[in-house]
Each structure stands twice: as structure tokens, then as C-alpha cells.
Amino acid sequence: MSTESQIAFIGGGNMARSLVGGLIADGYPAQRITVSEPEPERREQLRSRFGVAVTADNGEALEGADAVVLAVKPQTVRTVAEEIAPALGQAGAVAISIAAGVRLADLQRWLGPQAAVVRAMPNTPSLIQSGATALIANAQVSAAQHSLAESLLRAVGQTQWLTDEAQMDAVTAISGSGPAYFFLLMEALEEAGVELGLDRETARLLTLETATGAARMALESEDTPARLRERVTSPGGTTERALGVLDDADLRGAIQRAAEAAAHRAHELGNLLGEQ
Ligand SMILES: NC(=O)c1ccc[n+]([C@@H]2O[C@H](COP(=O)([O-])OP(=O)(O)OC[C@H]3O[C@@H](n4cnc5c(N)ncnc54)[C@H](OP(=O)(O)O)[C@@H]3O)[C@@H](O)[C@H]2O)c1
């Protein structure tokens, strides 16, 4: 990413801290980043840890900005968007919202018809720079702004552009809520290990290392997860016996229904946030 772009963050909480940390770790110049945050202690932490400029004034953060990251809670986005709309128009900056559930049309309505807007949906592992973020842009976003938004979110993990915003509900169901599904699997496997006679520490370590190893194999291999699973399933062996039990319990069906329920709820929440 061009290190010439001036980036403003509105809200200096968990996600802003991760994004700023990721940018600085990538060599982005701290003097090109300003964070606006109402809480004095959080401001001071950001300034001393990363060397970025901090302010309590959202308008001040926007001065000269090329990109403005809306990093406040979803229910605060409207207030902030309406407050910064005039300054955003003057700066000609792209607004990048990372607020879960807040749709492009609503952002556009609050920021003004000319505003270039990107909606990004990062997930919790972004907090440790291992995130998966889906992005969608409105028609006003230029090619340069596209790549600026993408580079920004790359600071906390992988990025994927969408062409249809309706897909954001599916993204929420898969990568947004997804970490919790894997945590549940880890909990259950650890518990099974304890039931089978391992001490908890050993059961947890084996579970977590197995989860990490399996994810890394799936990412690094040319084979699909299905093929990898087949390769570790010898006929008549232990894995085959275990997978048979999971099939009988309709694990795949349960996961499908869970994802559908999450996507449905994401849609409902998007409606509520737009109506606020
Ligand atoms: N955390 C995640 O894993 C994650 C994942 C995906 C998406 N997101 C999205 O990222 C956004 C931020 O989440 P977060 O976890 O970073 O929340 P957070 O830690 O609560 O950060 C939000 C910050 O914005 C500040 N703020 C509130 N009103 C403000 C205003 N009017 N102007 C400027 N700053 C203001 C808050 O200060 P006060 O606390 O004093 O109000 C707080 O420091 C959310 O919309 C969330 O949906 C988060």
C-alpha cells in the first residue's frame, strides 16, 4: 500500500488497535495515522504504543484523510457517520466501515449520496492478525480507494471482495460466527479426551495442536479438506469408526442448519440497524 495515504480511525477500541498494530508491523508510518477516541486512557495507550496521532475530535482526525475507518460499535455508526459526513465530502476520503451488520445503503444514506463507501466484515481472529475479512464497495469507490481499503484490512489477515452484498449474511454465518463453531468443537474434543482418561492440560494441548495442524494442512495442501479427510480414514480403522458416529448424528446437517440460522439472524440484525 502507498505509505503516503493518511488514515483516520474513528473509535480506538479493540479492532482499531489491531488494525493500527498490523499496519505499524507492516512498516506503515505512524505519522500517517490518526485515531479519534473519546476515552483518554485508550488514547494515551495508542499514542505511546504505536506513536500514532490521537484526538478526541472526530473532525480533527478527518483533516487531510484519504481513508476513514469507522471502528465504533454498530449502534454508534449512524451518529458518527452523520457527524463526519460534511468533512468526509470535503476530504474526498473513502469511508471504510468495519461495523458488523451495517449495510452499504444505510452507510450511504448517513454519509451522503456522493460518499465512497466500503463495508468490511472482519472476524475476531483479526485481533491476532489471523482474520478473514470480506469487503464490498459502492460505485463511488475508485480503483485506488479499492486497493487502499484492501491493503488496510490485509494488515489483520486475508481479504476477499464480494460483488453482491446479500453474500455478507453468508460471510457472517461462515467466518463471522465461524470461530465459535471451531471453539465448540475444541471444547467437545477436549472434554472427550478427559472422559477417555487424559488429564485436562494434555487433552487441551492435543486438541489445540491438532486443530492448528489440521487448519495449516488444509491451507497449505493442494487437496480439498474432503480429500485430506479421506486420506486419514483407513478402511476398518479408528477414524472411520469415529466419522461413522458423526454421520449418524447428522453433524453435516446440523452445521448446515446452524449456518442458515446465523445468516438469517444477520439479515434480521441488518434490518434493525438500518431502521435505528
Ligand atoms: N472485535 C471484533 O472481533 C470484531 C470483529 C468484526 C467486526 N467488529 C466490528 O468492529 C467495530 C469495533 O469493534 P471493537 O471490538 O473494536 O469495539 P470497541 O472496543 O468497543 O471500540 C469502539 C471504540 O469506539 C469508541 N467510540 C464510541 N463512540 C465514539 C464516537 N462517537 N466517536 C469516536 N469513538 C467512539 C468507544 O469508546 P467508548 O468505549 O468510550 O464508548 C470504543 O473505544 C464494531 O462495529 C464491530 O462490529 C469487531
pLDDT tens digits for 127-175?
899 999 999 999 999 999 999 999 999 999 999 999 999 999 999 999 9
- CA 37 to ligand 1 center in whole angstroms: 9
Would the pLDDT of 95 be above 90?
yes
Q: Where are the domains of the chain?
A: 7-171, 176-266
Cα gap 198→203, rounded to integer Å: 6
Q: Is 123 in the pocket of ligand 1 (CB under 6 A)?
A: yes
Percent of the chain with pLDDT over 90: 94
Place of cell 500500500: 1
Q: Is 193 in the pocket of ligand 1 (CB under 6 A)?
A: no
The per-residue pLDDT for 1 is 65
- CA 255 to ligand 1 center in whole angstroms: 30
The atom of ligand 1 lying closest to the CA of 79 is 31
The per-residue pLDDT for 4 is 83
The atom of ligand 1 lying closest to the CA of 73 is 45
CATH code for the domain defined by 176-266: 1.10.3730.10
Query: Measuring CA to CA, which residue among 47, 85, 62, 83 is closest to residue 9?
Result: 62
Q: Is 62 in the pocket of ligand 1 (CB under 6 A)?
A: no
Calculate ∠ Cα 176-179-181, nearest 5°: 105
Name the average pLDDT for the chain.
Answer: 95
- CA 259 to ligand 1 center in whole angstroms: 25
Cα gap 218→211, rounded to integer Å: 11
The per-residue pLDDT for 90 is 86
- CA 188 to ligand 1 center in whole angstroms: 31
Task: Say if residues 116 and 139 touch (Cβ distance below 8 Å).
Answer: no
Q: Is 8 in the pocket of ligand 1 (CB under 6 A)?
A: no
Chain segment 185-237, per-residue pLDDT in tens: 999 999 999 999 999 999 999 999 999 999 999 999 999 999 999 999 999 99
Mean pLDDT of 16-20: 94
Pairing of strands 116-121, 131-137: antiparallel
Task: For ligand 1, pick from 72, 121, 126 the residue to mutate: most ligand atoms within 8 Å of CB.
Answer: 72
Q: Is 72 in the pocket of ligand 1 (CB under 6 A)?
A: yes
Q: Determine which of 37-41, 87-91, 137-141, 175-179 has the lowest per-residue pLDDT on average.
A: 87-91
Place of cell 440460522: 261
Q: Does domain 7-171 have CATH number 3.40.50.720?
A: yes
Compute CA distances 15 → 131, 158, 159, 186, 244, whole Å.
11, 15, 15, 25, 41
Cell numbers at 47, concatenated: 499514542
The residue whose CA has the least distance to atom 40 of ligand 1 is 39
DSSP the chain: --TT--EEEE--SHHHHHHHHHHHHTT--GGGEEEE-S-HHHHHHHHHHH--EEES-HHHHHTT-SEEEE-S-GGGHHHHHHHHHHHHHHHTPEEEE--TT--HHHHHHHH-TT-EEEEEE--GGGGGT-EEEEEEE-TT--HHHHHHHHHHHHTTEEEEE-S-TTHHHHHIIIIISHHHHHHHHHHHHHHHHHHTT--HHHHHHHHHHHHHHHHHHHHH-SS-HHHHHHHT--TTSHHHHHHHHHHHTTHHHHHHHHHHHHHHHHHHHHHHHHH-
